[in-house]
Amino acid sequence: MADNLTVLLDESGIKRALTRISHEILERNKGVQDVVLIGIRSGGAFLAEELAQSIAMIEGAAIPVGAIDITLYRDDIKNHTSRLPVGKTEIGFSLQGKKVVLVDDVLFTGRTIRAAMDALMDHGRPECIQLAVLIDRGHRELPIRADFVGRNVPTSSKENVQVVFSAQNQPLEVVLEK
Partner 1 sequence: MAEFKHRNIIALRDLTKEDMELLLATAENMREINSRDIKKVPTLRGKTIINLFYEASTRTRTSFEIAAKRLSADTVNISPSTSSATKGETLADTALNLLAMKPDIIVMRHAVSGAHYHLAKKVTCSVVNAGDGAHEHPSQGLLDLLTIRDRFGRLDGLKVAIVGDITHSRVARSDIQGLTKMGSHVYLAGPPTMMPPAVEKLGSVTVCTTMREAIQDADVVIMLRIQQERQGKTLMPNAREYSRYFGLNPENLKLAKPGAMVMHPGPINRGVEMSSYVVNGSQSHVLKQVENGVAVRMAMLYHVCGGELE
Binding of residue 90 to partner 1 (CB under 8 A): yes
Q: Quick one: 92 or 143, whose CB is closer to partner 1?
A: 92
Under rule CB under 8 A, residue 124 binds partner 1: yes
Does the footprint of partner 1 cover residue 69 (CB under 8 A)?
yes
Q: Verify binding: residue 64, partner 1, rule CB under 8 A.
A: no
When asked if residue 67 is in the footprint of partner 1 (CB under 8 A), the reply is: no
Q: Which is nearer to partner 1, 46 or 73 (CB)?
A: 73
Minimum Å distance from CB 107 to partner 1?
A: 22
Sheet holding 160-165, edge to edge: 5-9, 171-177, 160-165
Compute the residue count for the chain.
178
Least Å from the CB of residue 78 to partner 1:
9
Give the Å distances, CA to CA, from 53 to 61, 65, 73, 107, 135: 10, 10, 29, 22, 19
Distance in angstroms between the alpha carbons of the first and the last residue of the chain: 13
Q: Tell me whether residue 111 or residue 139 sits nearer to partner 1 (CB atom).
A: 111
- Among 164, 154, 123, 167, smallest CA distance to 9 is for 164
State the minimum distance, in angstroms, from the CB of residue 175 to partner 1.
Answer: 21
Smallest gap from Cβ 98 to partner 1, in A, equals 14
Binding status of residue 92 toward partner 1 by CB under 8 A: no
- Determine if 88 is a binding residue for partner 1 (CB under 8 A): yes
Amino acid of residue 57:
M
Contacts with partner 1 by CB under 8 A lie at: 69, 72-73, 77, 80-83, 85-90, 118-119, 122-124
